[in-house]
Chain A
């Protein structure tokens, strides 16, 4: 029962996030689940709800996070018709962009932490 109740609380945050993201749709587009995530983090920070109200169900989901992406990833079947030259380009961009992002983030953060003490 505990897991189901906790799932209920999480779903309520998702719906609240959905409502809020529709309300501000004209100003900035934020996905409902992401808005739900922000609302949940805020509710925990302000003490509106406590960690133990959602802990077990959240950890069940978070500890098995990869599993939930399996069905979406099987959709890769749809890519089998893509040309190998496009696939090579995608791979090339991934490698260079990941290396650049690692490099820039590490050096900027390092510099800022050292300067600010």
Chain B
């Protein structure tokens, strides 16, 4: 009977909601960037599935129901871009060149280090979207190849890292413009880094949010051709 219950869509959806709520609760209690709600939810769900001996396939029935919303969610990011139109307009060229340099730095640093450490092509394809927001990163893996699970793990690690080290940059380089700091955080570490940028200041937060969308678009446009040109 237990196995019949876990095979309903309600099961996967319900434990996702419970685990995520616990993750949000812990994040709000500790206020630490290390307390990433997705990370906490994933640990709880995996532990529960293992302990109760429930197959992953059962969880996936309900999980897929949630997963399908990534499509409309990605489309809705268009509203976020629209809301940033004033900032984008007034600093268009600076943002475009600055973010493009960041996207290229991310791509070539991953490619060079990955080759040096002997990682295979699938690994490299999975890693190159790591600095952009998860829905866009998954879209990129869809057209450029790679293992989407590795991509998600890399995206989460990158976000947490960005949020941890971002406040150090204005400390080390106090002359840096607030706009530049925000753009850097959004380009390198998407939404998780941006949550830190919002705490640092209004300008940093707004520019970091703007950079997420632009960096994602530029990465999706540039990475597939760059991969063909430079991966041998």
B188 proximity list for chain A (CB < 8 A): 98, 101-102, 105
Residue-wise interface mask of A (82-112) relative to B, using a CB-CB cutoff of 8 A (1 in contact, 0 not)? 0000100111111111111111111111101
28 contacts between A and B (CB under 8 A): A10-B72, A30-B220, A31-B143, A36-B71, A36-B75, A37-B75, A40-B78, A41-B81, A44-B78, A62-B80, A66-B20, A66-B37, A67-B37, A68-B73, A70-B20, A72-B67, A72-B148, A76-B152, A89-B117, A93-B113, A93-B127, A97-B131, A102-B166, A104-B101, A104-B102, A108-B97, A109-B184, A113-B179
A92 proximity list for chain B (CB < 8 A): 113, 117
Quick check: A102 and B184 within 8 Å, CB to CB?
A: yes
Quick one: which of B19, B73, B130, B179 contacts A70, CB cutoff 8 A?
Answer: B19
B205 proximity list for chain A (CB < 8 A): none
B140 proximity list for chain A (CB < 8 A): 31
Q: How many residues of B sit at the interface, in one of the four size bands?
A: 35 or more
A57 to B99, CA, bound (A): 29
Q: Is A28 an interface residue (CB 8 A)?
A: yes
List residues of B (176-229) whose CB comes within 8 Å of A's CBs.
Answer: 176-177, 179-181, 183-185, 187-189, 191, 211, 216-217, 220-221, 224
Quick check: A97 and B180 within 8 Å, CB to CB?
A: no
Beyond contacts A45-B85, A67-B17: 12 other A-B pairs, Cβ-Cβ < 8 A, are: A30-B143, A31-B140, A31-B220, A36-B74, A37-B74, A54-B76, A74-B56, A92-B117, A93-B119, A101-B131, A110-B180, A112-B94
Given A74-B46, A105-B99, A110-B176, A44 contacting B131 (CB threshold 8 A): no
A68 proximity list for chain B (CB < 8 A): 66-67, 69-70, 73
Residue-wise interface mask of B (150-185) relative to A, using a CB-CB cutoff of 8 A (1 in contact, 0 not)? 101110111001100110010001001101110111
- Size of A's binding interface in residues, CB under 8 A: 70
Please, which residue of chain B has its CB at the minimum distance from the CB of A106?
B184
Given A14-B72, A97-B113, A108-B98, A69 contacting B134 (CB threshold 8 A): yes
User: Which of B16, B71, B185, B187: most chain A CB closer than 10 A?
Assistant: B71
- Return A43 CB to nearest CB of chain B, in Å: 8
Q: Is A78 an interface residue (CB 8 A)?
A: yes
Q: Is B6 an interface residue (CB 8 A)?
A: no
List residues of B (31-53) whose CB comes within 8 Å of A's CBs.
Answer: 37-39, 41-42, 45-46, 49
- Return B119 CB to nearest CB of chain A, in Å: 6
Please, which residue of chain A has its CB at the minimum distance from the CB of B136?
A34
- Return B190 CB to nearest CB of chain A, in Å: 10
Chain A residues in the interface with B (C-beta under 8 A) = 7, 10-11, 13-14, 17, 28-34, 36-41, 44-45, 51, 54-55, 57-58, 61-62, 65-79, 86, 89-110, 112-114, 116
A73 proximity list for chain B (CB < 8 A): 38-39, 41-42, 149, 152-153, 156
Q: Is B26 an interface residue (CB 8 A)?
A: no
